[in-house]
Amino acid sequence: MLKTRICELFGIDYPIISAGMGGVAFAELAAAVSEAGGLGTLGLVGFTPNGIRNEVRKARESTSKPLAANLIVPFMRADQLEVLAACPIAAATFFWGDAREHSAALEVMHKSGIKVIWQCGSAEEARNAKAAGVDVIIAQGFEAGGHVRGVVTTLALIPDVRDTIGDMPLVAAGGIADGRGLAAALALGADGVAIGTRFVASVEASAHAQYKQRLVSGTAAETLHTTLFDDGWPDAPMRVLRSKTVQEWEQAGCPPRGKRPGEGQIIGRVKRAEFEFGPEVTKYGGFPTDYFEGDIESCGFLAGQSVSLVREILPAGEIVRRLVNEAVEVIDQRLKQLTH
């Protein structure tokens, strides 16, 4: 129905990957995406080695189809890599670093037969990842939600990366939430898409109910690219929805780290024992998950500019099906007729 070499590479039905969003993309969401024909990704940043093992096992209880797992490079350790390499997954995604400096991580995965996906924010970073021997490149545009490494929009980035890396598999990310975006990414030269914000607003995502509702009501114009919520990861820019905390910071004159209103204040606790982060959460370091207990309004509501296209909370499998059907409709009913 909609096959690309990403489908062939991972043995999946559709070229759709759910982003490995730390904090909200756990076993239930990843398994649901994989069962629907995509490649579900577990966001495993901050998990203990035993937590990684347990989360993968939990996902495997719900699906026998291919799964991926995501680690954030500045926080990963050798013991986490060893455990992950022993898990029954098809791919490991790495983000936020020069792949050439992490040849050991690539070797660990490849020895276990696990494909390596490297998420990049620029054509130069993609070139370096190709040189390091990764199997797939994700190019993330500036529109993306959560942590954003690059400064170039998806529309400009994908063709640039395609020209830079030649014929190797390429996945587009950033600003994609429906079938039109999927079709557009394929037209730009990508072989598939990685989607975050749309899947946060799914039944299975471990996001707080208020967070999901914010996504449904939010718009692209309400998003902000900022380093405000960087407690725990200094100077790491991300895209979030404007909130009470953002407004308070702006009203204070946008002071730098160390001088922000309420900085250091404990706003709540994380109720997941397998996390190495927490349990206490400070202002500018919390995210509104369904296992966070405390002041939700002091958290960062991560969201990409595709939030304008999120209009309802749906099961992840239904999101996958709609993406595919919409993309096929765009290609068959709109694009093909333009060449007649």
Express each pLDDT in 270-321 by its tens digit: 988 788 877 899 999 989 999 999 999 999 999 999 999 999 999 999 999 9
Residue burial 2-21, b: 16+ Cβ < 10 Å; e: rest: bebebbebbebbbbbbbbbb
Boundaries of CATH 3.20.20.70 in the chain?
5-205+311-339
Q: What contacts 201, CB < 8 A, 6 or more positions away?
A: 207, 212, 215, 216, 310, 312, 313, 314
Express each pLDDT in 274-284 by its tens digit: 888 778 999 99
Q: What contacts 248, CB < 8 A, 6 or more positions away?
A: 261, 262
Determine the topology of domain 5-205+311-339 in CATH.
TIM Barrel (3.20.20)
Indicate the pairing of strand 91-95 with strand 136-140. unpaired
Q: For all residues of the chain together, what is the average pLDDT?
A: 96
Instruction: Using alpha carbons, list the distances in angstroms from residue 206 to 10, 21, 285.
Output: 25, 10, 17
What are the two backbone dihedrals, phi and then psi, of residue 231, each rounded to the nearest 5 degrees?
-65, 120
What are the two backbone dihedrals, phi and then psi, of residue 80, each rounded to the nearest 5 degrees?
-65, -40
Express each pLDDT in 199-248 by its tens digit: 999 999 999 999 999 999 999 999 999 999 999 899 999 999 999 999 99
Under a CB-based contact definition with an 8 Å cutoff, are residues 205 and 40 in contact?
no
Residue 328 burial (CB count, 10 A):
15
Global pTM reads 0.97
